[in-house]
Amino acid sequence: MTLAVPDRAALVAAARETIRRGSKSFAAASTLFDRVTRERVWLLYAWCRACDDIVDAQDMGGALGDQSGAAERLALVRDLTARAMAGEPTGNPAFDALGLVARETGLTMAMAEAVIDGFALDAADWQPRTEADLMRYCWHVAGAVGVMMAVVMGVSPDDDDTLDRAADLGLAFQLANIARDLAEDDAAGRCYLPAEWLAEVDLPPGEQLKPQYRATLAILAQRMCAMAQAHECSARIGAGRLQPRQRWAILAAAGIYGDIARKVAARGDRAWHSRTVVSGKAKLAWIFRAGWQALRPVPPTCRERALARRHSRQSLIALAQARPWG
């Protein structure tokens, strides 16, 4: 049976509903883009969300489903993605959305494969041993998405430095998410804290959420949140190279997600008593604050933190080797 060529308006409508359900923070920030960019961001998000949900057998990032058959689900994601990038209708709106936005912006199969490789790590029940392992994982599942988002916003695929800053925003988001979701990941049998970190503080693997270890766990979470904030600062430098409305949207997203890391760090050993969230009022405040920040230079303190991030990155060879655009 020949599949019908999907209608753009229908794909955009489906993608809009996906981001509305899947990420209220990103949905709020996306309203600041011009219409064309906003729709393209929604289309790319829909593909990312679908890949994650298929591989993890979940719905909109909710509780993990039965993890048996993960390899088959990963193969399905690779096949649908390849067909979409080849310009073929897939019958799945989220993958057709990727094909559409790729044709409109120049996204490449190598960029998509970098993201899928992150899902492959989860499907293989992988856990990081070193900080470099952690950053390689964050690069695949979020940094590579940042690169794709930057291209969707009009950044040239040859602008390595700006794409690097875009990747940093994805890394900041993922590090904040990991710190926030330590309890949820533990319940699903996953741990993204490097084994070497656990060994440094004598925290037994698999027992980090026990009450007697919460104070020690908080120290590691604060370490991760500090890394997230340093990458956020680096991303703010890159945002200065975007068009005004795009810069506004990215700074709003950086502030909202940055608040997750700041709140987790501030809550200490209480960070996992309940899910850390950013209120609607706080999100609105960040939208207004980001509008002001978009008109101002990056503060010197933020530049200093970004420079420190650059220096610490030099040891993360696995991350550098994974970049498909370099």
Average pLDDT, the chain: 85
* Domain identity same for 59 and 172: no
Closest CA to 87 of 156, 143, 3, 16: 3
Q: pLDDT-derived band of residue 149, with 50, 70 and 90 as boundaries?
A: very high
Residues 249-282 pLDDT 10s: 889 888 988 999 999 999 999 999 999 988 889 9
State mean pLDDT over 168-196: 91
pLDDT at site 305 = 64
State mean pLDDT over 179-185: 92
Does the pLDDT at position 228 exceed 60? yes
Closest CA to 309 of 214, 215, 201, 235: 235
Ordered DSSP codes for 104-173: HH---HHHHHHHHHHHHHHHTT---SSHHHHHHHHIIIIIHHHHHHHHHTT--TT-HHHHHHHHHHHHHH
Residues 294-308 pLDDT 10s: 877 776 666 666 665
Residue 113 in domain: no
pLDDT at site 96 = 96
Those residues with Cβ within 8 angstroms of residue 59's Cβ, 6 or more apart along the chain or in another chain = 53
Say which residue, 87 or 57, is predicted with more confidence: 87
Does the pLDDT at position 320 exceed 60? no
CA–CA dist 157, 325 (Å, integer): 7
CA–CA dist 94, 120 (Å, integer): 19
User: Tokens representing 121?
Assistant: 């790590």
Closest CA to 253 of 24, 41, 25, 44: 25
Residue 46 in domain: yes
Those residues with Cβ within 8 angstroms of residue 275's Cβ, 6 or more apart along the chain or in another chain = 180, 184
CATH number at residue 218: 1.10.600.10
Range of the domain at 73: 1-108
For helices 144-152 and 93-105, give the axis angle rounded to 10 degrees. 60
* Domain identity same for 65 and 164: no
Q: Backbone phi, then psi, for 180, in 5-degree steps?
A: -70, -40
Residue 234 in domain: yes
* Domain identity same for 132 and 270: yes
Does the pLDDT at position 168 exceed 50? yes
* Domain identity same for 54 and 183: no
State mean pLDDT over 77-91: 94
* Domain identity same for 136 and 258: yes
Q: pLDDT-derived band of residue 326, with 50, 70 and 90 as boundaries?
A: very low
Q: Give the number of domains in the chain.
A: 2
Say which residue, 193 or 190, is predicted with more confidence: 193
pLDDT at site 313 = 46
66: exposed, middle or buried (Cβ count in 10 Å: 0-12, 13-18, 19+): exposed
* Domain identity same for 169 and 295: yes
* Domain identity same for 153 and 285: yes
